Amino acid sequence: MSEDSQPQQHRRAPSPLSVGRQPPSPLFTYHQRPRTGVIPPPLLSPAAAEIRDQAGRRLSIQEGARRQSLTYAEAGIPARRRSLAYADLMAVFYPPNIIHQPTVTNTPFECAEWEGVSDSALSHIPIDEPGVASWEPTLERAIKSIVSIKAQCVRSFDTETSGTYTATGFVVDAEAGLILSNRHVVNPAPIVAQAIFVNYEEVELQPVYRDPVHDFGFFRFDPKKVKFMQLDSIRLAPQKAKVGMEIRVVGNDAGEKLSILAGTLARLDRAAPEYGVGQYNDFNTFYLQAASGTSGGSSGSPVLDIYGDAVALNAGGATKAASSFYLPLSRIARALDLVRRGEQVPRGTIQAEFEYLPYDELRRLGLDMDIESKMRETFPESQGMLSVSTAQRGGPADGSLQSGDIVIAINGKPVIEFVSLEETLDSSIGQTVHISVWRGNKAYDMHIRVQDMCEITPNRFIEIGGGVVNEVSYQVARGYGIQTGGVYVASSGHVLGSASAWRGSVIVSVNNIATPNLDAFASALSQLSEGSRVPIRLFSLDKPYRQKVVIMNVTTHWHALRMATRDECTGYWIYRDLDPPALRIGAIEPQTASVPQLPATLAPAHRVWPSLVYLDFHIPYLVDGMKNTQFAGPGFIVDKEKGYIACDRDTVPTGVGDVYITIAGSIVLAGRVEFLHPVYNFAIVQYDPQLIGSTPVEDIRFHPDYYEGSRRLAQGDDVYLVGVSADQSPVVRRTEVSSRSMVSTRECVPPRFRCTNIEGVKLHDQPSCQGGVLCDDQGRVMALWVGVSSQDSNNKDVSTMSGLDVAILRPTVESLRNNQGPPNIRSLDAVLWTMRLAPARTLGLSPERISQIEEHSSDNPRLFYVMGLSTSESPAAKLLTTGDIILEKNGKLVRNVNDIGVIQDDECVELVVLRDGKEVTLRVPTTGLNGMETQRVVHWLGALIQQPYRAVHEQVRHLPSGVYVSCTLYGSPANCYGLRPGMWITEVENRAVKTIDEFVAILKELQLGWPESASEEPSLRDMRTARYVRITVVNKTEVTKVLSLRVDGHFWPAWQLIHDSGTATGWKSIRHL
C-alpha cells in the first residue's frame, strides 16, 4: 500500500457532508447552486495556477443568481468550485471572465458550403422581416414566451452537484410544450423543475433532451396547464446573426424575474468558453459575443433581434467586464426538429477536440502555402482553419490524430468550420470517416470509426451509503486526460467516505474485484458481507498516475442501495433496488493478537498500554447539531469481561453512527454506543469480548484514592502523561499539573453537546497527542487526558485538552459492571461557574458565611453561581435564576462543583442560595437525564427532524414544539422552499403538532411524502399535478413563518430511525413512517 493508503485519522476528519468550510477561492466558479459540504480543494493545473496568480480572474454560472442562503448543518454535496487548466479558453456559464484568446477575425462565415449546411438544417424556419420594426411591440410579444425556471438538482451526478438554482428558458413550440434553455440548466443530473410565466402561472417541467457537448437542452410542459394566457413561441433564426446587429437579452438576470439588456453583436467566431476542469464545458463550436452585461440567472435567455426572432442562446459572460457569450442556434434548430418529431437526436464523436486557428498560427504549425492558398480561394471569407487540440485517451481518434494536426478535409470534402464537421460525424455513427490532416510538413489520411456519444454519456447512477457513483463521462474524462468509463464518485456519503473516497475519485476495484463500469461495481458490492471491511483501489482525478488502496466499511443498513436509470423518452429517473451485501451467517470467528511490548524507556506506559484502544466513529446523518461525520480518538477499557470502553465525547459526540474499535493495534471490531453522559465529557461504547479471543487486554487500573474521589489532582502534582498519537503510537511525558480550574465551553452553532459543570487540569508540558491518561509511576490512572470540543467567538470549532477526574466515571462504570444499566442521572438544569469571595461579599454575602467557607476550604475558597439555565421549562429552571450563588445542598456546604453539577438519584434537593443580597432556602426538583437522548429521527422531504435535545433547550426561551429540524439536504424540497435547520414545525395544514408522534400521524393521514407506487407508470407520475403542503415554522427568535413545500415521495421518501438496543448498531432503520 502507498504511504497514504489508510484513511486519514483526525480528531475531526474532513466530512463529505460537513457544512461551514469553504475551499480556497477558485479561478473560475459556477453560480448555479449553493454549496453544502467539504470536498477536496479545486484541482489546479500548473497553467491554471499561473494564470490565477497573474490575473486572478474568476468565472461563474449565470443561472444561480437567486441562491438559497447557506445555513448551518445543511447537508449535501459541495457545490462546484473548480479551477481550469487551459488559459486561452476560459470563461463561465455566468458570468465568465475576459481572458486571452487567439487572434481571430470577427467576420462570419458566409461561404457556399456554410450556407448550404445552414439552409438544409434550418429550411423549416420562416424568416420574414416587415419593413418597419420597433423594440416595444417586439418585446411585449416575446416576453409572453420567456419563463423563469426554478430547479432543484436532487442528486450529485457527473459534473453536477445537488442544490437549488434559478435560470431562464423560452418557448420554442407552444403546441408541443417545448422550452429551450442551456444544457447546464436542463442538467444531466436528476432534477425537479418548474417554469413560471410572465403572468405567474407555474407549470411542471420535464427534461427531455440535453446535448452531451453543446450548452443547450429542452424541457417539456403541458400547455393545457396554462389557463390564463395565450401561449406563443419564439422562432429560431440563426442565419440572421450578423456583426453589428442590435440585440436584446431578455431573461431572469441576477435573479430578477424579468430583465431586458441591450447589446450589439461583436463576434460570431469566439472560442467556446471553459468553465473549469472536471466541470461541464462546451467545445467544438463557435460562440457569439456582445457587451450586454448579463449576469447570474440569465442562462437560457433568448438573444432577440428587433423582429422578435432568437438569433442565439445566452450562455456565459464575464464577471469583471460587460462581455457576454451566446451559443449559435444552427445545431439547436436541428435538434429541435428531431425532438418535435419524437425522434432520437444522433450525436457522433471521435473523442477529439478541435480549435479554430488563424492562418498566421497555422503557418507556425507548418501549414503549406499551397494548401493555404487553395483554402483561401475556396473560402474567401474565412481567415483560418480547424486544428486538433486534443485526442482523448482511449477514444477512436487516439493514436490517429495528434495535437497540432490541421484538418483539411473529411470524406474528401474541405472543412474549415464546426457545423460541417459535426454534421458529418452525426450522420456517420458506427461508420468510418476519412480525415485528411496536415502534420508538420506532410499530409496524412486517417480512417477513424465514429462512436455514438450516448455510449460515453452516463444516464445511470448507484446510491450507496448516501453517496452517488456513476461512470466517468466524456465531460469529466477530457478535463483530466483519462479514459471514459470507470466508476466516478459524484458524492461520497457514509460508506465511501469511510474510505476517504471523496468526490472526484475514480474507483478501480472493490475487494480486489475490478470495477471498469457501473455493472461491475454493483456486482462487486453484492459479493461483500454486511459489516465487513474491504480494500478498494482508487485514484483522484487530479493525480490519475497515483493509485491508493484504502479500507471501506460495508454498512448499508443506514441507507438504501439502489440504481437509478434515466428514461430518455420521459426524462424520468427510475429506481430499482440492488442486491445488498449478504448478512453474515453464524458466529464470527474470534481473532487473537498480542499487545505490543513497549521498551523500558517508556515506563509506565507498559502498564497502561494493554488497556488503550483506538476508536473511529462515523456518522451517517447530521443530527444532534453535528457538522462533521468522522471522528477518531483513544478509548480506555474499563471492563474487559463485558467489553466496556470509556472515551471522550470529542471522539463519540452522538449516538447515531458506526463505531470501529482497534484493539492491540491489529484487531478491528464493530462496537455500539451504550451511554453518552449528558453533562460530563465522556461516553461508553461496548464491543463483544468473545471476538478478541485470548488477546491479553486489561482493565485500566484506576488509582483507588482518585477513583473514589477522596483525592484530586492539584497544582504542582507530578504525573505521567501516557497518550496516543495520530498514528496510534505511544506518547509518554513526565510533567506536573500547572493549574486546576473549571472547564470553559461556549454555546455552539448549531447547538450541540458541550461539557459543563466540571473542573479540569492543565499541564506544564503538554505534548501533542489525541488523548490518553494521567497516571503515577506505577501506571495507576488518576485522570483521563481528553479532548474538549467547543467553539470560539466566531463560531469556529476548537478543541483543547484537559485532565478529567476519574471519580466522575465511577457511578457509571460501577452501575454497568453490576448489570444495573446506566445510572440515574439528575440535574438542576443550571450552568455553573466559580465566584471569588470578594465579589460575593459585594453581592451581600454575610461575614459569618464567608468565615464558614474559609474555614472549610483547603485551598483558595470559592463559590459556585448560576451562570445560565440549560432549559427554561423544567421545574428547577422555574425556581433558580441567573446569578443565584449556591451555598448549601441538603444542609451541607457546597465545596466542589461535583456536589451540585450532577445530582445522583435525588428527585428533589434543598438548596440555600444567595439572591439579591439575601439567603433563600429552596426545595428544587431535579430533572432526569437520559444517557441516549436522541431516540428517534424522522426524514421528511429532505429534512431530518428530531425531538429538541438538551443543547437546543439551552439556546431558546421556550420550545415552540417538540418537532425540531436538525438538518436539511441540498436539492430537497425542504431546502428549496425555505425550511432551515434550527426551526420548529408547529403546524401542518393548519393542524397543530407538539410532538414527533403527532407530526408522523398527520403525515400518515395526509399521505405526505412516502414512496410512490412502483406499479404506476413513470410518465403518469411525472406529469401529474404537483402537490404542496403548508407548514408553520418558528425559529429560535420566535419569528413565525408559513412555508409551502412541494411533496416529492420519489426522490425524497419519508423514513425514520428508531433507537433499538437489540440491533448491532443500536438503531433500526424503517423505510416508511
According to the model, what pLDDT value does residue 51 have?
38
Q: Are residues 501 and 630 in the same domain?
A: no
pLDDT digits (tens, 9 = 90+) for 878-892: 899 999 999 999 999
Q: Of 929, 952, 977, which residue is a domain's last? A: 929
Residue 672 has pLDDT above 50, yes or no: yes
Whether residue 783 lies inside any domain: the answer is yes
What mean pLDDT do residues 691-703 have?
96
Q: Are residues 705 and 806 in the same domain?
A: yes
Q: What is the DSSP letter of 288?
A: E
According to the model, what pLDDT value does residue 651 have?
97
What mean pLDDT do residues 499-522 have?
96
Q: Are residues 680 and 776 in the same domain?
A: yes
Residues 187 and 207 sit within 8 Å (Cβ to Cβ): yes
Report helix angle 330-340 to 418-426, nearest 10.
Answer: 30
d(CA 780, CA 638): 13
Q: Are residues 469 and 437 in the same domain?
A: no
Q: Are residues 664 and 678 in the same domain?
A: yes
Positions of E strands within 182-337:
191-196, 202-210, 217-220, 246-251, 259-271, 286-290, 302-304, 310-317, 324-327
| CATH code of 538's domain | 2.30.42.10
pLDDT digits (tens, 9 = 90+) for 1017-1060: 444 344 345 689 999 999 999 999 999 999 999 999 999 999 99
Whether residue 357 lies inside any domain: the answer is yes
According to the model, what pLDDT value does residue 293 have?
72
What mean pLDDT do residues 508-533 have?
96
pLDDT digits (tens, 9 = 90+) for 747-774: 999 999 999 999 999 999 889 999 999 9
The continuous run of DSSP H or E covering 50 comes out as helix 46-55
Q: Based on the residue annotation, tell me whether 505 is a catalytic residue of this protein.
A: no
Q: Based on the residue annotation, tell me whether 298 is a catalytic residue of this protein.
A: yes
Whether residue 521 lies inside any domain: the answer is yes
Determine which one of 158, 211, 215, 1022 is catalytic. 215
What mean pLDDT do residues 914-926 have?
96
Confidence of residue 255 (pLDDT cuts 50, 70, 90): low
Q: Are residues 877 and 961 in the same domain?
A: no
Residues 518 and 124 sit within 8 Å (Cβ to Cβ): no
- Return the amino acid letter for 227: K
Q: Are residues 771 and 630 in the same domain?
A: yes
Confidence of residue 586 (pLDDT cuts 50, 70, 90): low
According to the model, what pLDDT value does residue 1009 have?
62
Strand bridging mode 246-251 / 259-271: antiparallel
> Which of 328, 255, 253, 275 is closest to 160 using CA atoms?
275
* Cell matching residue 120: 438544409
* Cell matching residue 598: 513497549
Whether residue 188 lies inside any domain: the answer is no
> Which of 126, 322, 139 is closest to 248 using CA atoms?
139
Upstream peptide bond of 223 is cis (omega within 30 degrees of 0): no
- The SS3 of residue 269 is strand
**Of the given ranges (115-119, 544-548, 777-781), which has the lowest mean pLDDT?**
115-119
What mean pLDDT do residues 662-691 have?
95
Q: What is the DSSP letter of 712?
A: -
Q: Of 552, 586, 620, which residue is a domain's last? A: 586
pLDDT digits (tens, 9 = 90+) for 101-110: 222 223 233 3
Whether residue 259 lies inside any domain: the answer is no
d(CA 79, CA 70): 11
| CATH code of 669's domain | 2.40.10.120
According to the model, what pLDDT value does residue 317 have?
78
Q: Of 586, 619, 647, which residue is a domain's last? A: 586
Residues 670 and 658 sit within 8 Å (Cβ to Cβ): yes
Q: Based on the residue annotation, tell me whether 184 is a catalytic residue of this protein.
A: yes
Higher pLDDT, 59 or 1046: 1046
According to the model, what pLDDT value does residue 346 have?
97
What mean pLDDT do residues 226-249 have?
95
Q: Are residues 948 and 1029 in the same domain?
A: yes
Determine which one of 60, 158, 184, 557 is catalytic. 184
Determine which one of 60, 145, 148, 298 is catalytic. 298
pLDDT digits (tens, 9 = 90+) for 640-661: 999 999 999 999 999 999 999 9
Q: Are residues 629 and 562 in the same domain?
A: no
d(CA 959, CA 961): 5
Q: How far is CA 40 from CA 14, 15, 185, in A?
A: 9, 10, 25
- In the chain, the number of structural domains is 5
Confidence of residue 277 (pLDDT cuts 50, 70, 90): confident
Whether residue 721 lies inside any domain: the answer is yes
pLDDT digits (tens, 9 = 90+) for 324-360: 899 999 999 999 999 999 999 999 999 999 999 999 9
- Please, is 307 exposed, middle or buried when counting C-beta atoms within 10 Å of its C-beta (0-12, 13-18, 19+)? middle
* Cell matching residue 858: 483547603
- What percent of the chain clears pLDDT 70, i.e. is strictly above it? 85
Q: Are residues 530 and 544 in the same domain?
A: yes
Residue range of the domain that includes 650: 590-820
Grid coordinates 437526436 are at which residue?
345
According to the model, what pLDDT value does residue 1073 have?
66
According to the model, what pLDDT value does residue 751 have?
96
Whether residue 495 lies inside any domain: the answer is yes
Q: Are residues 690 and 782 in the same domain?
A: yes
Whether residue 202 lies inside any domain: the answer is no
Is the CA virtual torsion 944, 949, 951, 952 positive or negative? positive
Q: Are residues 730 and 657 in the same domain?
A: yes
Residue 312 has pLDDT above 60, yes or no: yes
